[in-house]
Structure 1
Amino acid sequence: MPAVPSVQFAYRPDLDLFTARWQSLTLAATTQAEYDALLQAPEALGTPHWLLDVRRRPLITLESARWVTQDWLPRAAAALRPARLRLAFLVAPVRAENLRLDPALRAVMEAAYVPGHPFDLRTFTDEGAAVAWLLGQLA
């Protein structure tokens, strides 16, 4: 697996939960390499429940949002078949506000939330709520 020092991977067997946490502010230019590294992490491939803590990432660009939702997420879902990928993004409040207020970003994210994809996706600012949703305890 390629080394990605800015991202820490962990698996919690008690919750059957894979977590990727960005440990430092990284460049938007490294997004694709960091996300592709997740697809090679044995911790990730053992469970369909993923929590991506991107609170330390910069605000997302429209280009990055499209790449993650339209390219990377379908590949991640395919890697886990026949299980269904359930992915929660844990974001900083400023990032959540950016996703809500920017019409183009909001449209990309809303398109990724609708049923019919080979994955389930939600964005949270509270880790407890994100974990509850991943475990099916929150609609």
Structure 2
Amino acid sequence: MAATALPEVLLPTAHRADLDILVGRWSCQPEPDQLPGAYAHLTREAVASGCRFWLQDIRSRTLNDPHTTQWLLTQYFPQMASQLGGRLSVAYLTSPTLMELLVNAPGFRTPDAYATEPFVIAFFGTEGEALTWLEQQRSH
């Protein structure tokens, strides 16, 4: 995909009003210069829907950029939680290969490790597991 791809093509989103979940499905492995536009698009959609429960389908991605991860954890997710007025819950739907890379990476944290954070993230191999977890987060 060219670096000039539109953010809504790179990261199509939809607010599932019936579940109150914002779904984002990454269409490919983004180039680093595509990420600011994609996250700006995600921000606009989250704010428009007021939704704090996100399902991010990253099965088409093959690697995780450590700099982006650091930015997400230290800036983006805390800012989004503040902007949305409550704890942000993000369920990542991932491929088995990427899941293995993520859980074996230095600094990987389980959802329990986010207890004092304004956000929580978790990784799943099936959409059903991810949706069940997001529903459970509503009571936290």
| TM-score, normalisation: structure 1 | 0.82
* Unaligned stretches of 5+ residues in structure 1: none
- State the secondary structure of the residue aligned to 2:109: helix
CA contact 1:28–1:58 (8 Å) conserved in 2: no
Q: What amino acid is aligned across from residue 119 of structure 2 in structure 1?
A: F
- CA RMSD in angstroms comes to 2.3
User: Which residue number in structure 2 is paired with residue 119 of structure 1?
Assistant: 119
CA shift, 1:57, in A, is 2.3
When residues 135 and 44 of structure 1 are mapped into structure 2, their CA distance, relative to the original with a 3 A threshold, is: farther
Percent identity of the aligned residues? 28
CA shift, 1:79, in A, is 1.4
User: Which residue number in structure 2 is paired with residue 129 of structure 1?
Assistant: 129
CA contact 1:51–1:130 (8 Å) conserved in 2: yes
Cα distance in 1 between the residues matched to 2:34 and 2:44: 16
CA shift, 1:111, in A, is 7.8
Write out aligned runs for 1:1-139 (5 A): 3-4=6-7, 5-41=9-45, 45-81=49-85, 83-102=86-105, 104=106, 107=107, 109-110=108-109, 113-136=113-136
CA contact 2:22–2:46 (8 Å) conserved in 1: no
Cα distance in 2 between the residues matched to 1:79 and 1:92: 30
When residues 91 and 18 of structure 1 are mapped into structure 2, their CA distance, relative to the original with a 3 A threshold, is: same
Cα distance in 2 between the residues matched to 1:124 and 1:98: 13
Q: What amino acid is aligned across from residue 86 of structure 1 in structure 2?
A: S
User: Which residue number in structure 1 is paired with residue 3 of structure 2?
Assistant: none
When residues 73 and 116 of structure 1 are mapped into structure 2, their CA distance, relative to the original with a 3 A threshold, is: same
Equivalent residues, number: 131
When residues 60 and 87 of structure 1 are mapped into structure 2, their CA distance, relative to the original with a 3 A threshold, is: same
When residues 117 and 98 of structure 1 are mapped into structure 2, their CA distance, relative to the original with a 3 A threshold, is: same
